[in-house]
Every structure is written in C-alpha cells, then in structure tokens.
Amino acid sequence: MRVATDIGGTFTDLVYVSPDGRVGLAKSPSTPPHFSQGVLDVIRKAGIDPGQVEGFVHGSTVVINALTERKGARTGLVTTRGFRDVLAIGRANRPDMYNMRFRKQAPFVPRQWRYEVTERIDYRGRVVTPLDEGDVRRVADQIAREGLEAVAVCFLHSYANPAHEQRCAELLRELLPGVAVSASHEITMEWREYERKSTVVLNAYVRPAASRYLERLESELKELGIGRGLEVMKSNGGTTPFAVARKQPIHLVESGPVAGVIGAQAVARRAGVDNIITLDIGGTTAKTSLVEAGQVRITTDYRIERDGRLPGYPIKVPVVDIVEIGAGGGSIARIDEAGAVRIGPKSAGSVPGPACYGRGGTQPTVTDANLLTGRLNPAYFLAGDLRLDPDKAKEAIRPLAERFGLPVEEAALGILRVANASMVNAIKLVSVRRGYDPRDFTLVAFGGGGPLHAAALAQELHIRRVLIPPAPGTFSALGMLATRPVQDFVRTRLLPSADEHMDQVKALFAAMKEEALAFMAASGFDPSRVHLRYLVDMRYRGQEHTVRVPVAAVDRQEMEARFHELHEQAYTFRLDSPVELVNFHVSAVCQETPVDVEALAPAFSGDGSPKGRRNVLFEGTGWVSCPVYERANLVPDRAVEGPAIIEEPTSTAVVHPGQRARVDELGNILVETGV
Amino acid sequence: MFRSPGGSKPLDPFTAEIVREGLLAIAEEMFASLGRTSKSPIIYEVLDYACALTTARAELIGQANGVTGFLGTLTYAVQDILDKFGDDMAPGDIFATNDPYGGGGSHLSDVSMVMPIFVDGHLVAFAVNKAHWSEIGGKDAGSWTTDATEIYQEGLQLPGVRLFRQGRPEQGILDIIAANVRTPDMTLGDLHAQAACLRLAGVRMQELCAKYGIDTVHQAIEQLLNHGEQLARQGLARLPKGVFEAEDFIDDDGLGHEPRPVRVRVTITDDEFIADFTGTAPQSRGPVNCSRVALMSGVRAIFLALTNPNVPANEGCFRPLRVICPDGTVLTAQRPAPVSTHWEARLFSTEIVWKALAPAVPERLTAGHYLSVCAEVVVSTRPETGELAILVEPNAGGWGAGFDKDGEDGLYCVGDGETYVLPAEVAEASYSVRVNRYAFDIVDAGEGRFRGGRGMVREYVVTSEEGATVTASFGRHRFRPWGVQGGRDGSPNYVQVVRADGREEPPAGKLARAYLAKGDMLRLVTGTGGGWGDPRLRPREKVLADLRAGMITVQAARDVYGLTEEELAGVEEATPGGR
C-alpha cells in the first residue's frame, strides 16, 4: 500500500490506499519541535499494517521552518577571491522605493564566515587561475576553529565548469569530517552568481537540521517496520528518496502547497480534464497555479521572504509556479486612514482566528463575512468541532458597516466581493498575464475555503466549470499519493540557435541524459522505467527573459517554430531577430504507477435530497432561500440547481443562482457556471 | 457617500476598491510585460523604466516603476502630447517624446511613449511608458556623456511625434530612428516592446470599462485621486511646521568649471509643502543640468517619502506640494543646454530637501548617502562575435545611518529603486571584460554612533584586443555624503584607471571616452554613507563586531571609536585569514 503523511501547522494528516483500493484518512496533532513523533502517532492512529507499506511519501515543513525561524546551522561560505560580499550585496535593489530608512535583509552567512580562495574560471569554463589548494587548507583550518557545522562552496562560472568547486568540496570533506559541505553546482547549474550563492548557502544552512530529522524519522519508521520506498515531497511536484533529500534539502522548501497542485492535476486528469487552474484557499492565503495539457509549470525564479517591500532570498531550484496572495479565511478587512476598504494581508490566523471563532478575535475577517451571508453553517464548521458565533461576527463587521451606512450583511457581502476581486487578480496573474485564457481551463478548488469562493470567481473569469475534489480540506496529503519521483537537471550554456550548434546541443543533452539516468539508478529506481523530458529556455538575442520550450527532437527549425509560437502566446508578439539557447533542462520522471484516484470515490448511498434550507445573500439577487445538501448524500449525475449549499465535514461549497452542480462517479463536485 | 461629478448614483466603497485594484493591476501588468520583452539589459536587469495610466486630462492614476527617478514624470509626457495633438488622435495611435525640456523630462535616452485609450469613441485615459534606450545616437556611443555642450550632441530628438497611426507604424519615423542609433536592432526592439505594452493597457482598460461601465470607472478614478490627496494631507499634518534650509554643491559641470551650488528653503505649513530653490546656480555649459520636469520628479520623490511612502502614488498625492525655482538654473535648464547626466542635478533636488529635513524628521530620513547614480558606459565588443557591445550600468553604494540604525551597505541610490546589479557572470559573457573584484570598500569614513553603510568597489579588466572606451559620471566626488549630529561624513565616489603595468591614474569624478587597452583595469568606487551621532558613543561590542567582520579598519576602531590597544589585541586574532 501507499501512504502519504503531511505535516501542517496544527495537524499531521495521513492518507493511504489499501491494496483492495480502500482510501483511509487519519489526523493527529502535530508535535513541534519533534515532528516525527506526530508522524508515528498518525500512523498508529490510522491502524495500517506497516508490513504492507510499499511506498511512503512524506511532506515536511522542516526546511521552510528552519529558514523562517533562522534555526539552521552555523554556516560558512567559500568563494572566489574578490567576491565574498556578493552574498550581502544581493542585487542591491530597493523594492520599497520611497522608504529612505529601508533595511536590507541580513545574509545567512555573516561576513567573518565568508572566505575567499584564489581560483578563476571564465564564462566559457576555461581555467584562468588554477585553484590554490593551500588557500583551501587554510580556510578549512579557520572553519574548524570557528566550529562551523556546514559550508557552502560557490565559485564564479561553476555552471560552465564545476571542476574547481568539485575539488574544493572534496578537499573540505576530507579535511572537515562532520561538516556538511554543499557545492553550488550540485544544486543548480544556472548562471548569476548571487542567486546560485544564495541557493547553496540556504541548502548548507538547513542541511544538518533536515538531515537529522530525516535520519531520525527513517530509523523510527524502520523500527515500526516501514522501510521500503521512503520518499519526500519536493517543490518541483515530484518526490525523491530520503537519502537524496538529506544532501539537497533545499528542494523540499515549498513542498506543501505543491502537493495540492499535483493532486488537483491527478484528479482532473482522471476526470478527463487536462487544463486546470488550481485554487487553494487556507486561513491566511489563497494560492493558485496553472496546469496546461497535464503539465505543471515549473519556475526557478523562486524567493523566500519576498514581498512588495523586501527582495527576499533567491532559491534557484525548480518549484511549481504558484502565486500566493494574502487573502484567506482569516484575512482582516479594514478601512484605511483615508477611508478606503482594504482586505489582508494581515490575518487573524488560527489564534485568535476570525471573530466568529469566539477565541478573542475582534476584527472582521473573510470567514466572518462568509458566515453572515449564510454561506457557512455555524453548527457544522470543522465537522461541528468549532461552533461559530454569528453575533461576534456581526460585532466585528458593524463598525465598517456603520462607516458606510450599510446593513451589516451588506458590508459582509462587500468584504467577500473585494476578497474575490483580489483572488481574481491572482488567477489572472497565472493565466491572462502569461498568455492563457481562463475560459480554456477548469477551476479546481480545494483547501477549507476554496469551494466557498470558487464558483463566484469562475463566473467572473468566464470559466465554465469548477471541480471540487473529495475531501478538499485535507487535499495536500491526498495530492502526495499522486506524486512520482522527479529529478530536474538544468545547465546554462549560451548558444546561438544555428544549425552548426545542434551537435553541441545533442552532446549536452546526451551528457545530461547520462547524468539523469545514473542519478535515478543511484537513487534506487529502475532506469527502464525512467522517462526523460527535454526543454530549452530560448530567447531573442538581446533579450534577457526566456521562454521554456519543450523539445521533442533536437531540430533547429522545429525548436524555433515552437519558440516563436510560445513567445507570441506569452508576450503577444514575435520578432525576426536571431534566437539564442540559454538553459537546458532534463526532467527525469520515474513511471511508477501512482495511485489511481478512482479509489478516492466514495460509496454512494444517499438519496440526493437536501438536508434543510437556509437564506444566503448573493450579489444581485439579495437574500435567497437555498437548499442545503450533505455532500455524502448526493447521487451521481443528478443535478443540483443553484442557488444551493453543499456541506461536508471540512468544507462548504457555494453554488450561485443560475449555476448547476452535480457529483460525478469519482465523487468530484462539478459546478457548471453557465457562462 | 461619494458622488460622481455628474450626480449619477453613488459608487459603493467595495466597487470603488475593486476598480481601484483593477486600475493598479493594469499598470503592474504593463510593467511586467515591458520588462519581459525588452531587449536591453538597462531595461530588463536595471529596470530603468516606468509604466502608468493617466486620466484623459493627464492626471496620474497609477504607476508602476522600477526607479524613483521617473516618479510623476510620465504625466508631463502625456500633457505634451495632449497639448500638441489635441483632437487629432485616434484609436491605435502611439506617440513618442524624449524632449528633456518638455514632457520627456530627463535626457534623450529616456523615451516616453503615449497611447490614447478610447472606449465607445470617447477618450477615457492614456497609457504611457518611459524607458531608457541604451542607444539614441549622438556624439558618443551610449548617448550620454560628461562633456557635451549642447543637446544636439546628445542624440536624436523626438519632440512629440506619431510613431503609429491607427495601429500602423509611421515607417519613415522608424527609419529615421534606425538610421540615427548605433544599435538599431535593440533600440527598435525596445520601441516595439513599449508599443505592445501600451496596447495591452488599452485592452485591459476597455475590459474594465465594459465590465463596470465608463461612469463607474470615472467615479472610481476620481475617488482614487481624492484618496491620494487625503493620505498626503494626513502625512503633511504629521510633519513639523516651519522653515528649513540647506545648501550643497554639485562637483563641477564636466568641463572643469567650479562647483555649482544648490539651495533650498522648505516651508511646511498646515496645508502646503513649499520647496523654493531660488539661489541655485545658473545652468551649466556641461551636461550636469536637469529640466523643470526632472526637478518636479525629484521633489515629488522626497515629498512622497516624507508623507506617504507606502501607498501607490497618484496625482492626488502631490496636490499639497509646490515647487518654486526660476528658469535657467542648473535645475531648470533651457534649450539647448546639455542634460545627458541630468541625475547629477536632479538627485540634488531630492537630497537637498532631505538634508534640510533629516534632523527634524528622523523617523523618515537618514544621514546623507552616496547620491550619484554613479553610472558608466563601457563601449567594447561582444566576446566571440566581435559586434559592438555597450555596457551601461548604475552602481550601488553606501547609505547614511539613521537615528537608530547603521546605514545600508551596497544599495542603489535614491534615484534608482527596483534596480538590479549586473551579475559578474552575465557581464563577462556579454561584454569583453573580466570582473576582478566586487566588494565593500572599507575606508575610514562615515563613523558615528550609528555608522554609514559601505560603498562598493567593482573592477573591470578589459579583455578585448581592441580595448574599450569608458565614459563615467560619479558625482559626489568632491562633496561627501553628510553626517548628522556629530556623525562623520562619508567618502567620495570615484572612478580610477589602473593600467596593465600597474600604474594608477588619479581618481576622478568624471571620465569622457577614456581609452583602456587590453589588460587595463577600470576601478569603480562608490562612497560610504554619512554617520549619525558621536562615534565615541557607539557601543563597544558593535565596534568589535565590525572589526571582526572586517567592516572597519583597526585604525578607525582605535582613533575614531576609541578602542584601547588591549581591546584591539583580542580581536585581531579572530579576524579571518584566507583573504
């Protein structure tokens, strides 16, 4: 059987599919700071037979936590002479332009632990100055004296020739047993020294903590009798064995939200849909991502701790392209000092939470607005575990309503409209702004809040159909069951797109193929089941930004034709200028049979009748009496006419007037928006 | 409740917010689109461009910019086009201007493009953008220089011309541009990218009007501007009232003439912020002048910093601001005065107000920073292909200390913003240079209870057989970043040529077409910012930490911060070697 465990802030979730196709879910409190305990707890609670576990996928926040809490290792950096300050300079940008007291974010390695050695390689990979091994030995002494636990090595142009980094790392490993040494080319082979340096430094910084955590979990799992197929969820939407993750933990940085996208993709594909936009609304944020023709979009322009005012820290590893905005259930609505309405990014979080939670929150939130407009059932939130208090919600929204001379419920609807508008803008960021028409996509909604808002957003964006998978509130762990081992390889090599360079391209891809297959074999996968995808980042000469072009065969004309097409889609025009090839990607996917999501379909035993009615406030129609259904009681393919509410233990779906919903055989709710 | 001027039904606050967000999203989408499609590094790496929407009356609705220097200048470009063409505009028309004395506002390299947006046959708004073209012709490659004496030497002038008529290019104009610039492929590529960006804005604006109705959009815009004004007035109310004065000096005019004084008298009342530059030097023969539009932009930037730094700017934000300056000064130059290094004047207009107010508004302002854009042009060839390659880049430097914080190390100046340093790896692959060093410059300057941030040193060794030609303008070479309340002044910006044989030429603030042979090195150094407060009051542990990190010298620790020999002895051992 295949098991997935996902550690969240409050709960650790477990989902499994048993050999007879049965799906099981279990939930147990997370146990910071020793998260592995929570994993063991939830395994016991689920009552699965460890001996039957053949695949174990784990999603962990250990990496992102170590970074955001600054609880990583004492880390040093070894770099090319003359360049130790690059890490602190960053790109020197000031996103907070009119703040004359702007503060840069401090580097993860302080200056006294940034060491320089003599060596130099040029942009073509030719050695200009050989590596001075005496320098490396002297630096090793200092690292030992300072008692550092981890070291990053990053030299200029190592993407073109990693020889010096390799030798330096080798020496340091020899001289400093017990110190975790990471070299930049092992993590990323893309150019730009600051970004590569930041990536390897963050990898080094989290490595001891991640390594300890994974080792401990592994040995505890083995004690339980779970020892086969231990894998970790990565930010690229794939998985990797524990052993690999211990060396390259930075690949785990964004794994949580990514699992939801992969799950949505799997569920949608099974339902016969290849083009989807995902919508994952939690307590503090809404996240959205676009999947075209079954392919998730991968970016390497990822940064942590970046917002409109801070540049953040770049991490150049492949990450599923997700846009996240500060509009979730707990986001707070307020009136700014000059009288305009604003929502988020401040959130009431889970403590104290929205006012209606009755845990001391007094500020109006999106959840309060959903309650007052009749969308949420006060007696059936989190399966009834948390009783919502409409009076407290009213109290919270009243000042805002009075300010504008509106009834409280009208103000609540206003809050929802503004929140929806910012979610619409986020979805436009991943679609319209990248040259995709949302009308060609299905909106897949999950997270506790996704199904509450999805139908309204879809209508606004002229999306015809919304798909709400089973158990949308615990969808991330479910998504992990649908993942496969994936390893990405990227190299920067600047080449004009010309026939005479195609042999070079072929040779590069051949070398990368060899590397990819060797890596997958060393990671324990059967090479015959490894599938490779080839992509090239291309651009018009003189441009900086590239377009990622899938390559079926190394053929200049074909590649260029596809490039012109994709460029025009993304940027509205094509040029006659010569074309350049910049980054080469090989993505290795192990074709293990992921779990058939059909197993997730519930047994239908209900009669499809509503369990009651309540009044819901909609824009345009005012208050309308709506039937309320229990999701488990719905009958496949029998239409539910909107307006209607469909409740389940961890989520609530809203079907608007004029819309129509039904459940398919797989248990998905499909809402036709009628646009 | 809000009411529209026409008296139609009032706009609810939620719809107002939704439309407002929609309008700002258009400016941001324009910005993203142009950055991604541009062909010049100065646009896509340095983000030396800005995009905006204005009303049909040329009032700023929303702007997305990469640099502060373009704040509030785009509206003047729209105004110029509106004045010149009036009713003679049709859907699909796109106009361009780079007239520095008028709507262009900065120098010829910055080209503004303007497109009227029509909905149902009515002019509802303008989309406008402005970008630094790497090449606009003129006497020197890269188009800006430090020794021009007339605008005619600085490039091709586009005094408000129609580039596209109802969607079709005016081929004659494009041909003139192509014939007058050194990199026609890149320049015309940028022109088309700018045009595409404007058209995108047009489509989005039409969508917005179709969804909410023109009337609602107009009302939302009106509210947006009023909202900006209210925020500005609230910010103004928090400022101390009174008269504040300052004086500073622009080094020289690039032709060896005397320093140019810049003077300001700021008067803050309950409802006005008046910056009076009377007493500032007359315009120069050399190109350190800026025009009135640049002055306006410079003062707007600091006014926003003082009143309202966190909210997207619109025309309303500047209603309480009044700028006074006679014509013909170094800040209000008249044709045909050269203006290609306009920032050497414009940034003084920002920082002189800052200097006057820093002691009085410490919660918003720091001590003086390295100030100049510190830009250079390196004309060489592309490695491998041998084509002409022009490296243009601004340099980061040290910022001043605040009343409670050290200055920032290696950060772009007030005239830049969301500007990115050119990576050494990209520079080496694109131009015939090798970067020898890129590091903080540790000099004895900027000490204080809170110390100034460190400037940078960046060294380029020329690698092409034909050598390279360098032009550079590093202002604040003679007049250093200023300290506050006993904090020491920072250090000067300079450029220095080091010949292949090791011979160092004297540091200079400006270079015009200096020839560097293969193996020669260009050293670019930016200043440390000013300190805040008496250095003797700096806590010992902070001085020791700086020493351990190598951020100050032993000499400064002893002589300026007053560390004893005993205290010093413990540290030196901990100083890392391998350097």
Pairing of strands A127-129, A660-663: unpaired
What is residue A85's DSSP assignment?
A: T
What is residue A636's DSSP assignment?
A: B
Query: From the CA of B420, how many Å to the nearest CA of chain A?
Result: 5
* Nearest beta carbon to residue A421 from set B18, B39, B411: B18
DSSP-assigned states of every residue in A386-447: B---HHHHHHHHHHHHHHHT--HHHHHHHHHHHHHHHHHHHHHHHTGGGT--GGGSEEEEET
Residue A194 falls inside a structural domain: yes
Q: Do A418 and B414 lie within an 8 Å CB cutoff?
A: no
Question: Domain check: are A566 and A645 in the same one?
Answer: no
**A41-65: burial string, b at 16+ Cβ within 10 Å, e else:** bbbeebebebeebebbbbbbbbbbb
Q: Do B551 and A116 lie within an 8 Å CB cutoff?
A: no
- Average pLDDT value for residue range A117-126: 96
In whole angstroms, give the CA distance from residue A388 to residue A358. Answer: 7
| Secondary structure, 3-state, B347-407 | HHHHHHHHHHHCCCCCCCCCCCCCCCCCEEEEEEECCCCCCEEEEEEECCECCCCCCCCCC
Question: Domain check: are A118 and A188 in the same one?
Answer: yes
Residue of A84, A94, A121 for testing the chain B interface, max B β-carbons within 10 Å: A94
- Between B430 and A100, the more confident residue is A100
Question: Domain check: are A571 and A618 in the same one?
Answer: no
Choose one of A556, A590, A624: the last residue of a domain. Answer: A590
- Over the stretch A199-227, which tens digit does the pLDDT of each residue have? 999 999 999 999 999 999 999 999 999 98
Residue A334 falls inside a structural domain: no
Range in A17-21, A428-432, B37-41, B161-165 with the lowest mean pLDDT: B37-41
Q: Which of residues 8-67 of A touch B (CB under 8 A)?
A: none
Q: Do B577 and A433 lie within an 8 Å CB cutoff?
A: no
Residue A654 falls inside a structural domain: yes
Residue A198 falls inside a structural domain: yes
Residue B2 contacts A where some CB pair is shorter than 8 Å: no
CA atoms within 13 A on the CB side of A150: 24
Q: Specify the length of chain A in residues.
A: 675
φ, ψ of residue A178 to 5 degrees: the values are 95, -15
Local confidence pLDDT in tens for the 579 residues of chain B? 333 344 456 788 899 889 988 998 899 889 888 877 776 666 766 677 889 999 999 999 998 888 887 877 899 999 999 999 999 999 999 999 999 999 888 999 999 999 999 999 999 999 999 998 888 999 998 888 999 999 999 999 999 999 999 999 999 999 999 999 998 988 888 898 899 999 999 999 999 999 999 999 999 999 999 999 999 999 999 999 999 999 999 999 888 878 999 999 999 999 999 999 999 999 999 999 999 999 999 999 999 999 988 878 899 999 999 999 999 999 999 999 999 999 999 999 999 999 999 999 999 999 999 999 999 999 998 887 888 888 989 999 999 999 999 999 999 999 988 888 999 999 999 899 999 999 999 999 999 999 999 999 999 999 999 999 999 999 999 999 999 999 999 999 999 999 999 999 999 999 999 999 999 999 999 999 999 999 999 999 999 999 999 999 999 999 999 999 988 887 754 444 433
Query: From the CA of A546, how many Å to the nearest CA of chain B?
Result: 8
Number of neighbouring beta carbons within 10 Å of residue A513: 16
Residue B373 forms beta bridges with which residues? none
Residue B420 contacts A where some CB pair is shorter than 8 Å: yes
In whole angstroms, give the CA distance from residue A520 to residue A531. Answer: 10
In whole angstroms, give the CA distance from residue A126 to residue A87. Answer: 24
Nearest-Cα residue of chain B relative to residue A107: B409
> At A181, is the secondary structure helix, strand, or coil?
strand
Give alpha helix (H) positions in A47-175: 62-68, 86-89, 133-146, 163-175
Q: Supply the pLDDT for residue B7.
A: 44
Choose one of A197, A224, A253: the last residue of a domain. Answer: A253
Question: Domain check: are A132 and A238 in the same one?
Answer: yes
Contacts of B86 (CB under 8 A, 6+ apart): none
Question: Which amino acid type is present at position B214?
Answer: I
In chain A, the number of structural domains is 3
Choose one of A569, A590, A611: the last residue of a domain. Answer: A590
Q: Supply the pLDDT for residue A584.
A: 94
Structure tokens at B27: 């400016």
- Contact between B295 and B354 under an 8 Å Cβ cutoff? The reply is no
Question: Domain check: are A584 and A644 in the same one?
Answer: no
Residue A62 falls inside a structural domain: yes
CA distances from B110 to A207, A314, A543 (A): 47, 30, 19
CB contacts of B420 in chain A (<8 Å) are 91-93
Q: Do B13 and A341 lie within an 8 Å CB cutoff?
A: yes
Q: Which of residues 57-96 of B touch A (CB under 8 A)?
A: 65, 67-68
**B490-528: burial string, b at 16+ Cβ within 10 Å, e else:** bbbbbbbbbeeeeeeeeeebbbbebebeeebbbbbbbbb
CB contacts of B402 in chain A (<8 Å) are 101
CB contacts of A110 in chain B (<8 Å) are 549
Question: Domain check: are A85 and A185 in the same one?
Answer: yes
> At A590, is the secondary structure helix, strand, or coil?
strand
Q: Which residue has the tokens 């149902």?
A: B120
CATH number at residue A507: 3.30.1490
Nearest-Cα residue of chain B relative to residue A134: B578
* Nearest beta carbon to residue B578 from set A135, A156, A570: A135
What does pLDDT average to over chain A?
91
Q: Which of residues 476-535 of B touch A (CB under 8 A)?
A: none
- Contact between B400 and B368 under an 8 Å Cβ cutoff? The reply is yes
Closest CA to A214 of A72, A54, A59: A59
Q: Do A338 and B437 lie within an 8 Å CB cutoff?
A: no
- Classify A480 in phi/psi space as left (phi over 0), alpha (psi -120 to 50) or beta: alpha
Residue A544 falls inside a structural domain: yes
CB contacts of A582 in chain B (<8 Å) are none
- Contact between B123 and B117 under an 8 Å Cβ cutoff? The reply is yes
Closest CA to A325 of A429, A242, A415, A216: A429
In whole angstroms, give the CA distance from residue A121 to residue A505. Answer: 22
Residue B573 contacts A where some CB pair is shorter than 8 Å: no
- Contact between A541 and A575 under an 8 Å Cβ cutoff? The reply is no
DSSP-assigned states of every residue in A199-261: HHHHHHHHHHHHHHHHHHHHHHHHHHT--SSEEEE-TTS-EEEHHHHHH-GGGGTTHHHHHHH
DSSP-assigned states of every residue in B525-568: E-PPPPPBS-GGGS-HHHHHHHHHTTSS-HHHHHHTS---HHHH
Whether residue A648 has pLDDT greater than 60: yes
Question: Which amino acid type is present at position A483?
Answer: T
Question: Domain check: are A570 and A641 in the same one?
Answer: no
- Contact between B299 and B263 under an 8 Å Cβ cutoff? The reply is no
* Nearest beta carbon to residue A94 from set B200, B418, B440: B418
Q: In chain B, how long is the greatest CA-to-CA distance?
A: 81
CA distances from A528 to A490, A524, A595 (A): 22, 12, 20
Query: From the CA of A146, how many Å to the nearest CA of chain B?
Result: 9
In whole angstroms, give the CA distance from residue B221 to residue B232. Answer: 17
Residue B403 contacts A where some CB pair is shorter than 8 Å: no
Residue B321 forms beta bridges with which residues? B273
Q: Supply the pLDDT for residue A478.
A: 82
Number of neighbouring beta carbons within 10 Å of residue A8: 17
Q: Do A340 and B17 lie within an 8 Å CB cutoff?
A: yes
CB contacts of B436 in chain A (<8 Å) are 82
Question: Domain check: are A177 and A101 in the same one?
Answer: yes
* Nearest beta carbon to residue B234 from set A100, A338, A415: A338
Q: Do B421 and A91 lie within an 8 Å CB cutoff?
A: yes
Whether residue A140 has pLDDT greater than 70: yes
Q: Do B189 and A545 lie within an 8 Å CB cutoff?
A: no
Residue span of the structural domain in which A59 resides: 54-253
Nearest-Cα residue of chain A relative to residue B549: A112
Q: Supply the pLDDT for residue A304.
A: 93
Q: What is the pTM of this model?
A: 0.91
DSSP-assigned states of every residue in A611-625: SEEEEEEETTTEEEE
* Nearest beta carbon to residue A573 from set B196, B354, B409: B196
Nearest-Cα residue of chain B relative to residue A159: B425
* Nearest beta carbon to residue A194 from set B22, B39, B423: B423
Q: Supply the pLDDT for residue B35.
A: 78
Q: Do B32 and A433 lie within an 8 Å CB cutoff?
A: yes
Contacts of B171 (CB under 8 A, 6+ apart): none
Residue A147 falls inside a structural domain: yes
Helices and strands, number each (H, E), in chain B: 12, 19
Confidence category of residue A596, pLDDT binned at 50, 70, 90:
low
Structure tokens at A178: 């017990």
In whole angstroms, give the CA distance from residue A184 to residue B64. Answer: 35
Closest CA to A234 of A485, A507, A516, A547: A485
Nearest-Cα residue of chain B relative to residue A115: B578
Q: Do A96 and B365 lie within an 8 Å CB cutoff?
A: no
In whole angstroms, give the CA distance from residue B175 to residue A419. Answer: 49
Question: Which amino acid type is present at position A562?
Answer: R
Query: From the CA of B487, how many Å to the nearest CA of chain A?
Result: 17
Structure tokens at B247: 């004086």
Q: Supply the pLDDT for residue A151.
A: 98
Sheet holding B494-498, edge to edge: B433-440, B456-462, B521-525, B494-498
Question: Domain check: are A626 and A655 in the same one?
Answer: yes
In whole angstroms, give the CA distance from residue B579 to residue B577. Answer: 5
CB contacts of A417 in chain B (<8 Å) are 14-15, 18
* Nearest beta carbon to residue A572 from set B39, B200, B396: B200
- Contact between B474 and B458 under an 8 Å Cβ cutoff? The reply is no
- Over the stretch A302-351, which tens digit does the pLDDT of each residue have? 999 988 889 999 999 999 999 988 889 999 999 988 788 889 888 887 77
In whole angstroms, give the CA distance from residue A516 to residue A510. Answer: 10
Range in A112-126, A394-408, A517-531, B397-411 with the lowest mean pLDDT: A517-531
DSSP-assigned states of every residue in B276-342: E-TTPPBPPSSS----HHHHHHHHHHHHHHHH-TTS---GGGGTTEEEE--TTBTTS--TT---TTT
Residue B417 forms beta bridges with which residues? B67
CA distances from A145 to A138, A273, B569 (A): 11, 59, 18
- Over the stretch A608-629, which tens digit does the pLDDT of each residue have? 999 999 999 999 899 999 999 9
Pairing of strands A239-241, B159-165: unpaired
Question: Domain check: are A582 and A608 in the same one?
Answer: no
Question: Domain check: are A531 and A618 in the same one?
Answer: no
Both ends of chain A: CA-CA distance in Å? 42
**A403-431: burial string, b at 16+ Cβ within 10 Å, e else:** ebebebbbbbbbbbbbbbbbbbbbbbbbb
Nearest-Cα residue of chain A relative to residue B455: A89
Nearest-Cα residue of chain B relative to residue A138: B578
Residue A428 falls inside a structural domain: no
Q: Do B579 and A116 lie within an 8 Å CB cutoff?
A: yes
Question: Which amino acid type is present at position B419?
Answer: T
- Average pLDDT value for residue range A404-418: 95
Q: Supply the pLDDT for residue A410.
A: 95
Range in A120-124, A590-594, B440-444 with the lowest mean pLDDT: A590-594
Question: Domain check: are A643 and A584 in the same one?
Answer: no
In whole angstroms, give the CA distance from residue A449 to residue B545. Answer: 48
Residue A340 contacts B where some CB pair is shorter than 8 Å: yes
Query: From the CA of A614, how many Å to the nearest CA of chain B?
Result: 25
Residue of A85, A87, A100 for testing the chain B interface, max B β-carbons within 10 Å: A100
